[in-house]
A and B are shown apart, each in its own frame.
Chain A
């Protein structure tokens, strides 16, 4: 059976029946988006891996309760986001770097914790330019409230519609709009400060 051509819902149904390969395919599809979201929420690679891993395990072990009337991606993003937000509420983190863990004490440790960044369509010069702007944006996103961070990432990195974001974050649509307006205003202000 070709799992790559199946929809998320078909895979979820097969996963609920205990098909291991369906799980593997769902994991392949969502490991990077989920890890990216969680990493940008908690700003620590090792922690992001733990949280993303825990989110996948929770979701997969409860996949039989997934309601196929909704999008699987929304469901799994909701679980991952709730998990990251819960963690942030318990422990406040403000570290910002994609160059490795800020807690690294040696160069080797920093290298080992450096993030793997995909840049398939960029030449080295474009990559460096985007990296500089990207670093500034990453930094600015890191300063946002966790709820604003989620809304901005879901909208502009993962491309979700406002209604879907409202579903993932369990918020009214108007609140999501307000979050996004405020988040973007704060980002613009931060970037203006950084570049001036």
Chain B
């Protein structure tokens, strides 16, 4: 039975062992099976294979006669970099170049330090091997640094005094929060009172304009000697009562003709004949009215204005 391919990615050591032909037959089959389904390991194997072929193709050079002595004399074992480290670095750089460039927004977030540690590390690895992204990262970094270095500016010397002179220390005590409906109504009415000169000017304008117009109109009407206050009142009463009579007649006729009165009478007759139905109808009506009143109360009276998330005050 064919062995199921492992889901774990191949390590660099295993790939090298695979290319060195130092794996057993089963292990080779396993690497084969995994690489068929795993694109990244396949790419990794190809990159290692390329390195191997490049290393194999290097010409053999002969050092000078004292080469070995020089090397041994200057050898610093603590800082030595193995061929394998160099190969891994070379591979990483190649992988970085081959990978997709980091998009500008992620690069900004990287520079701003906003990404999770894993993503920061991945981008950092990419930047090590990608000149274009590295240059762009430098540009973002210098831009942000430039903004951070913008100078702090100071207002003129009299600024503090001007501000302090206009703080009304006596009016700072927080007003009591209105609890009852009456207090809320008073509080709401109090908010309508203008607080600035400009607001008073606007309110005065709004109030005075219609009053002035009405006064001028009154003067124009009563300056005519044929018009007296009593005569004008009689004329107005005659017009209003005539209009009201016409309106009432129209409504009453409409009501009678529509059959609504007849329907209402039939319903009343039915309810009066069955007390239980009357009781149910009355309770339903009372419940519906109460519910409507409660909804209005909650939405129009008790709901507070939502202020900003931070300030709790909109100015």
Contacts and interface: CB of A to CB of B under 8 A. Distances in A.
Interface of A: 15-18, 20, 23-24, 27-28, 31-33, 35-36, 39-40, 48-49, 52-53, 56-67, 70-71, 74-75, 78-79, 82-83, 98, 115-119, 130, 133-134, 137-138, 141, 152-153, 155-157, 162, 164, 166-168, 170, 180-181, 184-185, 187-188, 191
B163 A64 contact: no
Nearest to B157: A116
A134 B153 contact: no
Interface stretch (B79-87, B171-179, B185-193, B233-241): B171-179
B148 interface: yes
B154 A118 contact: yes
A118 B151 contact: yes
Contacts of A64: 172-174
Contacts of B172: 15-18, 61, 63-64
Contact of A62 (B114, B153, B315): B315
B147 A152 contact: yes
Interface in B138-171: 139-140, 143-144, 146-156, 159-160, 162-164, 166-171
Contacts of B170: 18
B228 to A, nearest CB: 53
Given A49-B156, A70-B312, A133-B146, 13 more contacts: A20-B164, A20-B167, A27-B163, A58-B315, A64-B172, A78-B310, A78-B311, A116-B156, A134-B150, A155-B112, A164-B310, A167-B308, A191-B143
Interface in B104-119: 104-105, 108, 112, 114
Contacts of B166: 53, 57
A74 B310 contact: yes
Nearest to A71: B310
Chain B contact residues (Cβ within 8 angstroms of A): what range?
A: 35 or more
Q: Which 7 A-B pairs have the closest CB atoms?
A: A67-B312, A167-B310, A64-B174, A156-B147, A117-B151, A74-B310, A116-B154
A155 B112 CA distance: 10
Contact of A82 (B147, B150, B162, B315): B315
A152 B147 CA distance: 8
B55 interface: no
B266 to A, nearest CB: 58
Given A49-B155, A118-B151, A61 B311 contact: no
Contacts of A184: 108, 140, 143-144
Contacts of A115: 153-154
Nearest to A68: B312
A56 B308 CA distance: 18
